[in-house]
Structure 1
Amino acid sequence: MGCGESKHGDVSPGEQVEQELEESRRNSHYHSKVLLLGAGESGKSTFGKQLKMLAKGQLSVSEMALYRRAIRENLVESMKTLLDAAESMGIPLANAELEEEAERVRSTELATADMPSTLGYDILKLWQDQGVQETWARKDKFWILDSTPYYMREAVRLAQDSVDITEEDVVMTRVMTSGVGSIEILDPPIKFTVVDVGGQRNERKKWLHCFDDVKAVVFIVSLAGYNQVMFEDATRNRLLEAMELYVDVVSNPIFRDTPIHVLLNKTDLFAEMIQEVPLSVCFPEYGGPPGEVLPAISFIEGKCKSIMAQCCPHKKLTVTPICARVREDVLLGWKDVTDTVRATYDVDVKR
C-alpha cells in the first residue's frame, strides 16, 4: 500500500510531532489558573457568576432552570428564617391574623421548588408586618441571606409557576458552593481558568488540592460582615472570620510569589449598614467619623495591607472595593487581576 500525500505538505512526521508539541507547550504556557478564595457569604460565587455570564454571554437552559429553582428556595428559606428568629427572640407578629400565612410558609418544603402561586402574596404580607420588620432590624443576631429584601420585593413574581427569571435574579440567587467549580475565560493569548471553592469551614479542607501552579489569588471579603454572624457559627463575626482566613492565605508559603488581590465586596450593603451601626462594633480601635463610608473602607483596606506587610514584607497588594452584583465593578476587579497576570508574561518575554 502506497503512502498518501501528507496534508501538512513537505513536513515530515517527526517535524509534525515537534510542531504539535511546541503548540501544546505554548498553550500550556499561556494557561493561567486564578483562585477565588474567601469565607462563606463573601459574595465569591456572585463574582464568579458574573464572570461566567461575561464569558459565555448567556447561561444555558439547564443553568437557568437551576437558578429558577434555587431563588424560589431562597425566597421561602428567608421568610422561614425570619419567622424562626422572631419566635426565638419573642417577637410576635403585629397582625395576629397573619398566623395562617405564617403556617403555610413554615409547611412549604424547601426540597422542592413547587409552591402555590398564592404563597408569594403570603410572604409579601408577612414581610410588611411590623413584627417581621423588627426581626429583620435585628439581623445581626442571626444568620440570614443578604438578598432577603430583594426576594421579598419580588415574592409575588417569583412564586408564579410560569416565572422566567432575569439576569438580576441569577446574580441575587444564593447557591452554596460545594466542592470545586471552574470557569474558563479566553482573553488571547491567555486562557484563564478561574477556580471557585466553597468558603464554609467544612469546605476549606478541599482548598489544598487547588493550590498548585496558581498565577493569581483573588480573596473576596464581605464588608457587610462587620455586623453579621456566620452561617456555621452564630457566635462568630463574619468579617473577623474572613480576616483570620486571609492571614492563613497570605502567610501560606505556596503563595509567597503569587500576586494576591483583595476585593472588598458588598459596598452597597456596607454603605447602608454603616449609617446605623458603627464599624467600632467589630474594630473597637476604629476612630473614624461615624456614618462615613470611605474612611471606614479605608480602615479595612489598611488592615489588609498591614497583614500583608507583616506576612510578606515588600509584597505588593491590590485592594479594590466592589459590589459584585454590579457588572462594572466586577469588570474593574477582574481587570486588576488580568493586568497583573499579563505583566508576568511580559516579564517572561523580556527575559
Structure 2
Amino acid sequence: MESKEPKKAKNALKRVKKTLSLSAVGKLSRDALKRSQSIDNQLQADKDRKQNELSLLLLGGACCGKSTFVKQLRIHYGDGFPEEERLQYKNQVHDNVSGAAHKIINYMHTHDISFEKECMMVQAEEFQRRNPVLDINEILKTPQPVEERPAASKGANSLLAMACSELSKRFAILNMKCNGLSLNDQQLLLTFWNDKNFQQCYKSGQSKETSPENLTPQEIYFCDNMNRILSENYVPTHQDILYIRRPTLGVIEHVFHVDDLLYRVIDVAGQKSQRKKWIHLFENVTVVLFFVSLSGFDETLEEDDTLNSLTDSLNTFHDVSHNHYLDKTDFLLFLNKYDLFKEKLKTVQLKTFLASYDGENTPDACVKYVRDVFHQHRPCHKQVYTHVSCATDVEMMSDILAKVLNIIAEINCKKSGKLF
C-alpha cells in the first residue's frame, strides 16, 4: 500500500504547478490585454488624426487659378511668403516679363516696325536667342525615350508614380528656363521699354483684335511694373507672386494647419493631356475644389484652338462630378477671374460665344447664367457650393477663404459623425 506522505507530496506538487500555470496564464492574459488596449488606443488615435486631416483636390483647366488659390492660402493661413523665399521668385517674375518682350518683338517683326534706333532690332533678336520661351504644350507632347520610361506595373499608385516620374523629367527641361535675366539683359529690356515704337506695339499687343499674340493679364501687369521689377534691390511682393504664371506639372501637395485641422491641398496639372491622370487621386478626398476661368468664355484652349475654354470647363466638370469614385464627395465651384470677366463684357457679348444665352450682357446676369449651367450639369444628389472669385485679389480672397474653410470643416464633421 502506498504511504500517505508521498501522496500528499504529489498532491501538493500538483497544486503548486496549477497555481504556477494559472499565474502564467494570468500574466499572458494581462500582457495580451495591454497589447489589445495599446492597439485600440492607436487605432482610435489614427481615427482621430484622420478625422482632423482633410484632403482638398484642386481640379480645373489650365490657367484657371488653382495655383494662385494655393498662394492665397499661404498668404492668409501659411507662412505668408517670408522675404527670403520671395527673393526666390525673382527669376520667375523676370521670365514672365521676358515672355512679354518676346511677344512685343515678334509683333514688331510681323508689322515691320523697328525701334527708334534701327540697330536695336539686332540686339532684340539676340535677346530672344539668349532668353528662349519654352512652349509647355510642346514639352508635354514630347515623347520620352523608351529606355527612360518607368517600368510598367499594375495598380493606381504605380500608375501615378509612373506619371509623376515622366513629368519630373519634363519639368527638369522647364527648369532650364527659370534663370531670370542677366544684368545686361535687364538693362537692355529697360532700353526696349523706353523706346517709343516698342511702347506703341506694347499697347497694340494688349488688344486681341490687333494682335494674334495678345499679351496675358499677367504679362501686362509685369510690363506696367517694369521699372520696379528690374530695379537693383527688387524683392517680389505678394501681388507679384500672385500674378506669376507658371504651369503646374504633375502633382504638388501643400499642407496647412488651421484651427486644429490639417488641410492637404493637392494641386494637379490642368492641361487637357494631363487630365487622364486625375482619376488616380480621387480616393479619400474630402472635397473637390473645381476652378473655372469666367474670362475664358471667348478664348480657346492653348493646346487645342478648336475648343472653347468655358465649354471645355463645363464638359470637364460634368465628367468629374459624375465620376463614381467621387459619388459621395461634395464640390466647391469657383467661378474665377471675375475681374477680367467684367472687363471683357464691356466690349464682348457673352451670347456671341454661348448661343444658348439670350439675357442682358451685365456681369450679374451673365454670372448667374454660367452658375446655373454648371449646376445643371451636376448629379442631382450632389451638393455644390459656388463662389465667384478673383484669385489675385488678396482682400476678396481673405473673405472667401474664411467661408470656404468653414464649409469644408462642416462637411468633414458631417462625414465623421461629429456635431458642428
After superposition, give the CA deviation of every residue in 1:32-72 in whole Å (9 maximum; x if it has no partner).
10111110010111011111222223225674244211111
What is the correspondence of 1:28-43 to structure 2 with a 5 Å cutoff? 28-43=50-65
Long gaps (5+) in structure 1: 1-11
2:204 alignment partner in structure 1: 134
How far the C-alpha of 1:14 sits from its partner, in A, is 6.2
How far the C-alpha of 1:283 sits from its partner, in A, is 0.5
Q: Quick one: which amino acid aligns to residue 149 of structure 1?
A: I
User: Is the contact between residue 289 and residue 331 of structure 2 (CA under 8 Å) also seen in structure 1?
Assistant: yes
2:191 alignment partner in structure 1: 122
What is the correspondence of 1:8-157 to structure 2 with a 5 Å cutoff? 15=37, 18-59=40-81, 63-84=85-106, 87=109, 90-93=110-113, 97=117, 100=120, 102-103=124-125, 105-110=127-132, 111=177, 112-115=179-182, 116=184, 117-125=186-194, 129-138=199-208, 141-142=212-213, 144-157=215-228
How has the CA–CA distance of structure 1 residues 299 and 150 changed in structure 2, closer, same or farther, with 3 Å as cutoff? same
DSSP-derived class of the 1:285 partner: coil
* Residue 297 in structure 1 maps to residue 367 in structure 2: yes
How has the CA–CA distance of structure 1 residues 214 and 231 changed in structure 2, closer, same or farther, with 3 Å as cutoff? same
DSSP-derived class of the 1:234 partner: strand
Distance in structure 2 (CA, Å) of the matches to 1:141 and 1:234: 12
1:321 alignment partner in structure 2: 388
Q: Quick one: which amino acid aligns to residue 372 of structure 2?
A: G
Distance in structure 2 (CA, Å) of the matches to 1:155 and 1:55: 30
Match of 2:318 among 222, 232, 247: 247
DSSP-derived class of the 2:397 partner: helix
Quick check: 31-40 or 149-158, which moved more? 149-158
How has the CA–CA distance of structure 1 residues 22 and 45 changed in structure 2, closer, same or farther, with 3 Å as cutoff? same
After superposition, give the CA deviation of every residue in 1:205-251 in whole Å (9 maximum; x if it has no partner).
33122111011011011111112232223343222222221122112
1:4 alignment partner in structure 2: none
1:340 alignment partner in structure 2: 407
How far the C-alpha of 1:204 sits from its partner, in A, is 1.9
Quick check: 90-99 or 117-126, which moved more? 90-99
User: Is the contact between residue 30 and residue 190 of structure 1 (CA under 8 Å) also seen in structure 2?
Assistant: yes
Match of 2:286 among 210, 215, 229: 215
Distance in structure 2 (CA, Å) of the matches to 1:60 and 1:228: 36
Distance in structure 2 (CA, Å) of the matches to 1:18 and 1:143: 62
1:160 alignment partner in structure 2: 231
How has the CA–CA distance of structure 1 residues 180 and 98 changed in structure 2, closer, same or farther, with 3 Å as cutoff? farther
C-alpha RMSD of the superposition: 2.8
Distance in structure 2 (CA, Å) of the matches to 1:159 and 1:252: 47
User: Is the contact between residue 77 and residue 258 of structure 2 (CA under 8 Å) also seen in structure 1?
Assistant: no
Q: Quick one: which amino acid aligns to residue 93 of structure 1?
A: I
DSSP-derived class of the 1:224 partner: helix
How has the CA–CA distance of structure 1 residues 218 and 250 changed in structure 2, closer, same or farther, with 3 Å as cutoff? same
After superposition, give the CA deviation of every residue in 1:95-123 in whole Å (9 maximum; x if it has no partner).
65477264354244143313323234235
After superposition, give the CA deviation of every residue in 1:141-197 in whole Å (9 maximum; x if it has no partner).
447533111111111222235311111111111121111112212223421111100
Distance in structure 1 (CA, Å) of the matches to 2:351 and 2:404: 31
Q: Quick one: which amino acid aligns to residue 329 of structure 1?
A: M
Distance in structure 2 (CA, Å) of the matches to 1:168 and 1:307: 34
How has the CA–CA distance of structure 1 residues 318 and 344 changed in structure 2, closer, same or farther, with 3 Å as cutoff? closer
Match of 2:258 among 182, 187, 191: 187
Q: Quick one: which amino acid aligns to residue 69 of structure 2?
A: F
Quick check: 91-100 or 42-51, which moved more? 91-100
Task: Flag the structure with larger Rg.
Answer: 2
How has the CA–CA distance of structure 1 residues 336 and 260 changed in structure 2, closer, same or farther, with 3 Å as cutoff? farther
DSSP-derived class of the 1:33 partner: strand
Count of matched residue pairs = 335
User: Is the contact between residue 37 and residue 217 of structure 1 (CA under 8 Å) also seen in structure 2?
Assistant: yes
Instruction: Using structure 2 for the length normalisation, give the TM-score.
Output: 0.72
User: Is the contact between residue 56 and residue 265 of structure 2 (CA under 8 Å) also seen in structure 1?
Assistant: yes
Quick check: 45-54 or 211-220, which moved more? 45-54
